[in-house]
A and B are shown apart, each in its own frame.
Chain A
Amino acid sequence: MGSLMIYREMSTRKLLLVLILPAVIIIFLVIIGPIAFAFILSINQATPRLGGIDLKWRGLLNYIHFFFQDPQFWLSVRITMYFTIVSLAVELVLGTGIALVLNKNFWGRGFVRAVVLIPWAVPTVVNARLWEWIYAGSSFGALNGLLKVIGALPEAKNIVWLGFDVPFAGVPLLSEFFSWMGVSRALNMIILADTWKVTPLVVFLLLAGLQQIPESLYEVASIDGANAWRKFWSITYAYLKPVFLVILVLRTMELFRVFDIIYILMQYSIRVVGIYTYETGMKFLRFGKGSALSFLVAMFILAFTLLYIKLFYKEEI
C-alpha cells in the first residue's frame, strides 16, 4: 500500500487502545480493584468502625480456619455439592429428554418451542415466590391440592414441602447419609423449583447442538442395525459432547454459588456456601472471613471446571 495510506492509518497500537481502554479502565475500577481489595481483606481480620475499617494481618489464617476449624464450612460444602450434583443430573436428564422430543417433527413444534423457553425468562425472585406459594404447607397449597385430586395424598393430610424432614427417614444407612449431607425435603423441593426455571436453557443449548447432526448418520446406523440406545451414545452423545461440557461448566458456576432462591425461601436455614458467605460477611460483618470464604467458593468452581475438562477431553490431552 502507498505511503499516503500509511500516513492516514491509525497504528494498530493506537486502535487497540481506543477500543479496549475504556473497557479495561471500567474492569479495573469495578472488578479487578474490588477483587484485589477483597483479597487483602481475606488475609486480614477486618473490623468495621465509623467511617472506615481496621485491618489486622492474619495471613492465611482465615482460609485455614474454614478448612480445619469450622465444621459448618464442610457441612455447607456438602449441602452445596448435593444441590449442585442433583440439580445438574436432573437438568441434564430432563433437558436431554425434552430436547430429543422437541427435535422430532410434530404439529405445532414452533409454538411448543417458544412456550418451553418461557420459564427461563421468569425472574429468579418471582420464581422463588411462585414456588413458595405452590409448596404452601397448608391445605391452600397447590401441590398438596393436586396430590389430593389425583388421590396420592389423603384428604386430611398436608405435607409441609419446605420442611426439614430428612428424606428416607426410616431407612438406616440412607437416612444417616442424607442427614450428614445436610439434605432436607426443603432442599429437594428447591432443586425442583430451580430445575423448572433452568431446564429450558439446557434444552435450547442441546437443540442447537442437535441441529448440527447430519440426518444421514442415523440412516447409515439404521442400515447397520444399530438400536436406538446405541445410536444415542455413538452419534447423538458424541456430537453433543462439547455442548454438554459447556452446560456443565455454566451450570456448575451458577449452582455452586446459588443464593437468591434459597435466601428468599429459607433465609439462613439452608446454609449452602453462598448463604454461609453472605451470613459471615454481611450479617455478622466479618469482612475478612467472608472474603476468604468467597474465594474458596471460586476455588471449588474452578476445580469442578478443570475436572470436567479433564474428564471430557481425556483422549485429547
Chain B
Amino acid sequence: MMNISLLNKKILKRIGLYILVILILLWTVLPLIWMFLSSIFPYKELISDRVDHWLPSKPTVRHYMSFFDPSKEISSRFLASLRNSMIVASTTTIVCLFFGSLAAYAIVRIEFKFKKAMVMSLMFVRMLPTITLIIPFFIIVNLIDTGLIALFGGNVHLYDSKPLLIILYISFTLGFVIWIMRGFFLTMPRDLEDAARIDGLSRLQTVFRIVLPLSSNGLIATGVLAFLLAWDEFILALIFSRSDAAETIPLFIAELGSQYIHDFTQISAAGVIACIPPFVLVLIFQKFIVSGLTMGSVKG
C-alpha cells in the first residue's frame, strides 16, 4: 500500500514537471513562431480576423524575396543596412577585444597606482545612460563636420558614416569587454605564465604566445557578447545615421512602415532575418556565452 502511493506521488511529480517544461517551451517559442508565420502570410490574409486565421492558407516567401530583389527600392536599403550592421558590429568587436583584453590583463596582473579608481570608474560609466554620451558627441561631430565641410566640401563628413558609428559603438563596448575579460583573468591560474617566463620568454612574448592563446575561451565568450551588444544597438544609430551609408539593421526595422500602414508581413520577414546572426551565435556558443556572463559577474 505504502509503496504504491509513494510511486503514485513520484509519477505525479514527473507529470507535473513535464507540464511545467511544456509551458516554459510554449512561452518561449510561441511569439517566435508567430513572427515566422506572420512573415509567410499573404498580406491580405494577415490583416483579417485572427480567430480563424492562424495559419496562412497559401504560405509565401514573397516578403523575403522583395528584400533581395534589386528592382525593388526597399531591397537596396535593406541590404545596405545589413552590410552596415555586419561591418560596424564586427569591427567594433575586434577592436574592443584586442585592446580591451590587453588592458584587462594588465589590470589583473600588474599593480599600479590608480587601479582601484580605474575599476570603479569602469563600473560607474556603465551606469550612465547612452544619452550622456550622445549629447556631447552630437555637438563634437557637428563641430568637426563644419570644419571638414569648410576644408573639403560637402562630401567629407563624419555624421552618417560607418567610422563614426564604430567609434561610438567602441565607446560603450570597450568598458564592457575590459570588465568581462578582467573577470576571466581573475580566475586564470598564474602558473603557466610563470613557467613561460622561466623558460626565457619576455613578458610581452608571454602575453601574446601564452596568455592570449590560453584565453581563447574567454575571448570567444566576450567576443560573442560584444557582437550581440553592437548588433542590438539602436539609439546611437537613430541619431548618428540617416542613409544607406551607415543605417543599421535595427534602425531599418524600427523605421519600416509609415504613419498609416504597418505592413507586418514585411516587418516580420526583416525581423526574422535580423535574428539569424544572433541566433546562430547563441546556438553555437551557448556554453561560452553562459561562462562569459558568469565571468562578468565576478565580485570586484
Contact = CB atoms under 8 A, between A and B. Distances in A.
Given A26-B170, A121-B281, A204-B293, A282 B138 contact: yes
B148 to A, nearest CB: 11
A20 B107 contact: yes
A75 to B, nearest CB: 18
Interface stretch (A60-68, A81-89, A176-184, A296-304): A296-304
Interface string B109-144: 010100000000100111111111111111110110
Given A30-B170, A302-B127, A37 B140 contact: yes
B132 A126 contact: no
A52 B281 CA distance: 43
Contacts of A9: 202-203
Interface in B28-86: 28-29, 31-32, 34-35, 38, 46-51, 54
B4 interface: no
Given A118-B279, A294-B135, 10 more contacts: A12-B203, A19-B106, A23-B99, A38-B135, A38-B136, A102-B24, A106-B18, A118-B32, A123-B278, A130-B268
A287 interface: yes
Interface string A1-42: 000010011101001101110111011001111110110010
A317 B115 CA distance: 23
A142 B36 CA distance: 13
Q: Is the interface of B mostly helix, strand, loop or mixed?
A: helix
A287 B139 contact: yes
A98 B28 CA distance: 11
B275 A121 contact: yes
A154 B24 CA distance: 27
15 contacts: A19-B106, A30-B170, A34-B137, A34-B171, A51-B143, A51-B146, A101-B20, A123-B249, A133-B267, A140-B46, A148-B50, A243-B297, A259-B234, A281-B131, A291-B136
A131 B127 contact: no
B151 interface: no
A26 to B, nearest CB: 6
B129 A257 contact: yes
Interface in A89-143: 98, 101-102, 104, 106, 108, 112-126, 128-134, 136, 139-142
A226 interface: no
Interface stretch (B155-163, B214-222, B282-290): B282-290
A24 B47 CA distance: 54
Given A51-B146, A106-B18, A123 B132 contact: no
Contacts of B293: 201, 204-205, 208
A242 B125 contact: no
Contact of B34 (A41, A134, A302): A134
Contacts of B32: 118-119, 122
A298 B129 contact: yes
Nearest to A5: B200
B113 to A, nearest CB: 10
A282 B178 contact: no
A53 B139 contact: yes
A205 B24 contact: no
A153 to B, nearest CB: 10
Interface of A: 5, 8-10, 12, 15-16, 18-20, 22-24, 26-27, 30-35, 37-38, 41, 46, 48, 50-53, 98, 101-102, 104, 106, 108, 112-126, 128-134, 136, 139-142, 144-146, 148-149, 155, 196, 200-201, 204-205, 207-208, 242-243, 246, 250, 253, 257, 259-260, 263-264, 273-274, 277-278, 281-282, 287, 290-291, 294-295, 297-298, 301-302, 305
B292 to A, nearest CB: 11
A108 B24 CA distance: 13
Given A124-B232, A126-B274, A205-B293, A133 B264 contact: yes
A242 to B, nearest CB: 7
B195 interface: no
Nearest to A21: B103
A62 to B, nearest CB: 12
A253 to B, nearest CB: 6
Contact of B133 (A20, A35, A102): A35
A155 B51 contact: yes
Question: Which of B38, B46, B49, B100 gathers the greatest number of chain A CB atoms within 10 Å?
Answer: B49
B171 A30 contact: yes
